[in-house]
A and B are shown apart, each in its own frame.
Chain A
Amino acid sequence: MATTTATITLSSADIQSDVLALTKQATLNKAGTTTGLDQTTGLNKIIFTSVSAITLIPETAAGLNKAAKVYIANKSTDASEFVTITIHAQKIGKLYAGDWMFIPWSQIDGNDLKLTPSVATALPVEYMMIHEGITTA
């Protein structure tokens, strides 16, 4: 059994009158258990040269309602460049340069995780999924 943790730290000295300093660590376990997730896509890096939508991670029946955690980061340094993240037809949001996201993903039938770059001029993105269930043949 693997032990994987994901820790977020949110910090700001001036977004409110009190200092914001939140840290939360999650241990990434299989759905409904205390057994650690044991599979990963590994960290991937893709440089996009098209503005076409692509399926970043396809859903699989074996992953349906299992625990899957997805990390995506826009590694561009141009503040105007973004990638739009969607699940099925639902737009989740835009990751601008330097932004990252970390979400659980239920892999509902047909609901692939997709990405659309805003520019076709070499936009780098990193992503990784840590999961259970078999997601590749």
Chain B
Amino acid sequence: MATTTATINIASADLTDNALNITNTATLNKKGNLEGLDTIISATKTFTSNSVVDLLPIAGFQGDASVKVYIANTGTSESDYFTIGIDDEEIGRLYGGDWMFMPWNANDDGTDANDDDITIKPSVSTAMTAEYIVFS
């Protein structure tokens, strides 16, 4: 059983009148128990088209299990972004330097061919790079 932790710190001295400093550490466990997630997939991909593509298809992942996904835009451009979605639903945009971390319901509910695939769409076709890690 592996032990993996994900820690977030959100900090600002001037967003609010009082300084903001939130820290939270999660131990990444399997669904509903204290056994650690034991599989990791990581990759870096460079995109040269602004077409929407599957970054993470559900194939190979157990539906309704505990899966955590980290995605980062490794670029430095403040104007170029990746649009991240699940199936046909847009979640949000990652601009240069942005990252996200979320649970993923990699489930095949049979409603369409894409189901819960995680999709990515670069805003430009001039070499944008994303990195991702999946814990399951």
Contact = CB atoms under 8 A, between A and B. Distances in A.
Interface in B35-67: 36-40, 64, 66-67
A49 interface: no
Interface in A2-28: 2-16, 20, 22, 24, 26-27
Given A26-B97, A79-B29, A104-B98, A6 B38 contact: no
Contacts of B113: none
Interface string A80-101: 1010110111111111101111
A133 B32 CA distance: 38
The DSSP consensus for interface residues of chain B is strand
Given A80-B32, A88-B89, A90-B87, A7 B104 contact: no
Contact of A8 (B6, B37, B97, B135): B6
Contact of B94 (A73, A85, A104): A104
Interface string A89-131: 1111111101111111110100100000000000000001010
Contact of B27 (A34, A98, A128): A98
A96 B24 CA distance: 14
B4 interface: yes
Interface residues of A, number: 64
B101 to A, nearest CB: 5
B70 to A, nearest CB: 6
A15 B38 contact: yes
A52 interface: no
B67 to A, nearest CB: 7
Interface string B104-127: 110100000000100000000000
Interface string A29-69: 10111101110101100000000000000000000010110
B22 A102 contact: no
9 contacts: A24-B72, A68-B92, A92-B103, A93-B103, A94-B105, A100-B26, A106-B92, A106-B93, A130-B10
